[in-house]
Chains A and B, each alone.
Chain A
Amino acid sequence: FQFPEYVFLQFLGLNKVPSPQKFQPVPTLLRKILQDREAASTAGVPQDVCYIKELGVRGNVLRLLPDQGFFLYSKTRPQDSPCLQKLLYFNLSTIQEKQQLTMAQLGLDLGPNTYFNLGPELELALWLVPDTQVWGSKVPKAGRVLLVKSVPWPQGALRFNLQGMVRNWNSHSWPSLGLLLQILVKGDGAWELDGHLQDTCSRLRRSLHTYLLVVTLDPEQCHLVSRKRR
């Protein structure tokens, strides 16, 4: 008897058996959602599998897409350039066309949040990068500004809602998402004098971890709640 493995894989939305080189870290949020679901199942509590109460959105599939982008290094003096520039690249091609995107959240982890070893204030800026197809040949041009925000550092994890930007997403016209992240150190100049700036920037580069959390809804398994008529 040969178990029809491919049938099961198709059921999961996969084409072939995944063979990951290493397991990606699973964020606490996903583990919590999973544990809550398992506890509810064990207790026999009825569940709506098409609503994720922890995020307050409808959907039955959560995807954590790792950033496949790269750092950009400037040839100018560190004082004259941003502390950190990174092109964030997220491959959206695995999301099937029929699935409806109900949430997209960018996660930026800037290292552990601590009261010790306090650093300067940071200014974060995020741009949409169109035409991610041409990345291989040249440094892409930044498009629309999505965010400019000042944060104290160390800050821990930050989350930004990109739902408005990807509302009209579909996999044919938009197989990937490219963003340009720029982090500037805000200070009175003292940071630049005694080598703190470079130290801060290299620490940021080491600790930066970015991901995109995407929630989709499979209309074959779930139904969108239609608006009531006024």
Chain B
Amino acid sequence: AAVPAPKSTCKNLCHRHQLFINFRDLDWHKWIIAPKGFMANFCHGECPFSLTTSLNSSNYAFMQALMHAVDPQVPQAVCIPTKLSPISMLYQDNNDNVILRHYENMVVDECGCG
């Protein structure tokens, strides 16, 4: 039987939302030397079955969306980060130490269904 495709507008589809947090707004600029802020991008949006293949999805997301369409008890494929990049932070602690620290997978570059 044909699986009815749920209606979704382009605006509601899974994609990356840009969000920049300025450390000055949090008063953290007094101890964080660089960067000036953090790109706190996030993924949000729907992953309808009809568009699962075109929304940078994993094969499993396609299967899950298909199963959800057949059995609504199976959860829907969700909008998740598919590409992340690291950040480096330069800051000063209470002992006047200058610290440069690398953090993996901190900034969302791309989103997709999974």
B-binding residues in A (CB < 8 A): 3, 5, 12-14, 16-20, 23-24, 26, 30-31, 33-34, 37-38, 41, 44, 47, 49-50, 60-66, 91, 93-94, 221
Interface pair A44/B93, CB less than 8 Å apart = no
Contact check: which of A23, A34, A65, A221 meets B100 at CB < 8 Å?
A: A34
| A5 to B23 Cα, complex, angstroms | 12
Q: Is the interface of B mostly helix, strand, loop or mixed?
A: strand
B33, B34, B35, B99: most-surrounded residue (chain A CB, <10 A): B99
Within 8 Å by CB of B85, from A30, A41, A61, A93, lies A41
Q: Provide the bound-state CA to CA distance between A30 and B90, in Å.
A: 8
Q: Which of these, A3, A12, A26, A31, contacts B101 with CB under 8 Å? A: A12
**A26-B98, A50-B102 known; 19 other A-B pairs, CB under 8 Å?**
A18-B92, A18-B93, A19-B30, A20-B93, A24-B92, A33-B88, A34-B100, A41-B86, A41-B87, A44-B109, A47-B86, A60-B102, A60-B103, A61-B99, A62-B101, A64-B100, A65-B97, A91-B95, A94-B95
CB of A102 to closest CB in B, whole Å: 13
Among residues of A, the one whose C-beta sits closest to the C-beta of B87 is A41
Partner of B107, one of A12, A41, A60, A91: A41
Is B60 close to A, CB under 8 A?
Answer: no
Size of interface on B: residues with Cβ below 8 Å to A: 29
In the assembled complex, the Cα of A18 lies from the Cα of B99 at a distance in Å of: 12
Given A19-B30, A19-B94; A64-B104 close (CB under 8 Å) = no
Are A49 and B94 neighbours in the complex by a CB distance under 8 Å? no
Q: Known contacts being A14-B93, A18-B93, A19-B31, is A64 close to B101, with CB within 8 Å?
A: no
**A62 touching B99 by the CB < 8 A rule?**
yes
Indicate whether B91 reaches chain A with its CB closer than 8 angstroms. yes
- Which residues of chain A are within 8 angstroms of B93 by Cβ–Cβ distance? 14, 18, 20, 94
8 nearest CB pairs, A to B: A49-B102, A18-B31, A64-B98, A62-B100, A37-B88, A60-B102, A49-B104, A20-B92
Residue from A20, A31, A41 within 8 A of B30 (CB atoms): A20
Q: How far is the CA of A23 from the CA of B107 in the complex (A)?
A: 27
Give the complex CA separation of A20 and B87 in angstroms: 23
Check if B10 is an interface residue, CB within 8 A of chain A.
no
Give bound CA distance, A93 to B96, whole Å.
Answer: 12
Contact with A63, one of B26, B34, B99 (Cβ below 8 angstroms):
B99
User: A71 CB to closest chain B CB, in angstroms?
Assistant: 19
Contact between B97 and A12 (Cβ–Cβ < 8 Å)?
no
- A sample of 6 cross-chain residue pairs with beta-carbon separation below 8 angstroms, ordered by A number, consists of A18-B31, A31-B90, A38-B88, A63-B98, A63-B100, A64-B100
Complex Cα–Cα for A65 and B96 (A): 7
Rounded to whole Å, the gap between the CB of A198 and the closest CB of chain B is 31
Find chain A residues with CB under 8 A from B94 CB: 14, 16, 18-20
Q: Given A17-B31, A18-B92, A19-B30, A66 and B101 touching (CB < 8 A)? A: no
